[in-house]
Amino acid sequence: MALNPKIRDWRDRRVWIVGGSTGIGAATAERLLAAGARVAVSARGAETLEARFARHAECLRLPANVLDTATLESSLAAIVARWGGLDLAIACAGTYGEMRAIAPDAKAAREIWRTNFEGAFNVYTTCLAQWKAQGGGALALVSSAAGYTGLPNSLAYGASKAALINLAESLWLDLARHGIAVTLINPGFVDTPLTARNRFRMPAMISAEQAADEILRGFARGAFEIHFPGRFTRGLKCVALLPHRLRFWCIRRFTGA
């Protein structure tokens, strides 16, 4: 049974992608524009937004910082002024850095936690009043399969994504009765500027465009969780269900930690 309304027709649907200048966010914006949606994209860099979406005259380019709620509020106001409301917000902004427990970087960890978790929470709180006023809406949070279980070299990033998974579940339980859908998106390895920083082998890597296709298929199913690629995420889900002794052995075995 679908946990969210199934979205199969995107024509004239009003979508705001926060963190949409590169990677999964940008590829999803391109797919939605092609499907007839009215799309607004936000990111910190105005030049990057213009460079990516200049050919889409109908696309709203709204620079915003997820840690500066005033910029989010002004972007939402511009969307509502243009389109009269907002149907779906996708919180896609995030950052990443390798970090091992033996050598923690507190400043870098705080930046990761704030951007990935607080930033997504800020998108939600910015949109909530508008969705209550219009009688419904939808939120999608882009987390990661790295949030399923602890992983080596993922001290700050994995914790931030685990928090997002918990947040999405809590939001769905509270908001479904108010007509506000919540979707959790958990990618595995996707070829983006963030994963380009990794210095280890990334199994089952897919392109940002393939990730965008998976996301749209998940919305069409009315899924709560959209995770991909399945051959990777399903395996990690199974590992996360194991008793700790066996789980830690498997993770060490397959990561070489």
In tens, the pLDDT along 6-24 reads 999 999 999 999 999 999 9
Residue 237 in any domain: the answer is no
Return the pLDDT at 233. 97
Residue 163 in any domain: the answer is yes
Q: 123 to each of 21, 33, 139, 221, 233, how far by Cα in Å?
A: 16, 21, 9, 24, 26
Query: How far apart are the C-alpha atoms of 19 and 17, rounded to whole Å?
Result: 6
Residue 244 in any domain: the answer is no
Residue 104 in any domain: the answer is yes
pLDDT higher than 80, residue 3: yes
Task: Give how many domains the chain has, as a whole number.
Answer: 1
Residue 165 in any domain: the answer is yes
Return the pLDDT at 193. 74
Instruction: Among 144-148, 174-178, 203-207, name the one with the lowest average pLDDT.
Output: 203-207
Residue 152 in any domain: the answer is yes
pLDDT higher than 90, residue 194: no
pTM, two decimal places? 0.94
Structure confidence by residue, pLDDT tens digits, 208-230: 999 999 999 999 999 999 999 99
Q: What is the mean pLDDT of residues 116-136?
A: 98
Residue 239 in any domain: the answer is no
Q: What percentage of the chain exceeds 70 in pLDDT?
A: 96
pLDDT higher than 80, residue 197: no
**What is the residue range of 170's domain?**
14-231
Return the pLDDT at 191. 84
Return the pLDDT at 204. 76
Query: How far apart are the C-alpha atoms of 1 and 36, rounded to whole Å?
Result: 27
CATH number at residue 60: 3.40.50.720
Return the pLDDT at 96. 85
Q: What is the mean pLDDT of residues 117-129?
A: 98
Residue 256 in any domain: the answer is no
For residue 139, what are the β-bridge partners? 89, 182
pLDDT higher than 70, residue 195: no
